Amino acid sequence: MNLTIDSKSPLPVYQQVIQAIKLEILSGELRDGDPLPSIRDLAKLLRINPNTVAKAYYALEAEGFSEGRSGSGSRVKAPPGRQDALRKAMLESEWRIFLEKAVSLGFSLEDIRQLIERINK
């Protein structure tokens, strides 16, 4: 699992953990039934508070992306039949953050359109 935390992101750390794990699941890197790292191990790896990881894991479980098993940690629970819709929702969320940041930096929608065209060439 390849998770990183951006300390400069306006997104709270626990939400970054949630998004990173969802991305791993939706991209197929994590599959249904795969174990998630323990709360302590992930906190140590990311150098964050274990309570932050616990908050992210609880949210993932509430959203149906994982399930906690008493004594054996959390495991991935891939949402059946919803992956395309969830991937689109995640992309839309990331796109909205990008657009808000670009506009706040003074870029116009035309500037952004030109950037997209330049990248697609």
How confident is the model at residue 54, as a pLDDT?
Answer: 95
The reported pLDDT for the residue numbered 21 is 94
Q: Are residues 59 and 28 in the same domain?
A: yes
* pLDDT at site 71: 78
Cα torsion for 110, 115, 120, 121, to the nearest 10°? 100
Same domain assignment for residues 71 and 25: yes
Range of the domain at 39: 1-79
Query: Using one digit for the tens of pLDDT, what is the confidence trace for 56-105?
Result: 999 999 988 999 877 788 999 977 766 777 778 778 888 888 898 899 99
Residues 59 and 92 in one domain: no
Name the percent of the chain lying above pLDDT 90.
Answer: 52
Centre a 10 Å sphere on the Cβ of residue 16 and count the other Cβ atoms it contains.
Answer: 20
pLDDT band at 17 (very low <50, low <70, confident <90, very high): very high
Q: What CA–CA distance (Å, rounded) separates 31 from 35? A: 9
Same domain, 45 and 68: yes
User: Residue 43 has which token pair?
Assistant: 């906190």
Whether residues 30 and 67 fall in one domain = yes
**62 and 29 within one domain:** yes
d(CA 39, CA 55): 10
Predicted confidence (pLDDT) at residue 45 exceeds the cutoff of 90 = yes
Clarify whether residues 5 and 17 are in a common domain. yes
Residues 49 and 63 grouped into a single domain: yes
**Poorest-pLDDT segment among 23-37, 70-84, 104-118:** 70-84
* Residue 42: per-residue pLDDT: 96
Instruction: Identify whether residues 112 and 58 lie together within a single domain.
Output: no
Judgement on whether residues 38 and 65 belong to the same structural domain of the protein? yes
- Local confidence band at 2 (pLDDT 50, 70, 90 cut-offs): confident
How far apart are alpha carbons 32 and 16 in whole angstroms?
21
Query: What integer is the mean pLDDT of 13-35?
Result: 91
* Judgement on whether residues 20 and 2 belong to the same structural domain of the protein: yes
Domain count, the chain: 2
For residue 67, what pLDDT is reported?
93
CATH of the domain at 66: 1.10.10.10
Are 98 and 61 in a shared domain?
A: no
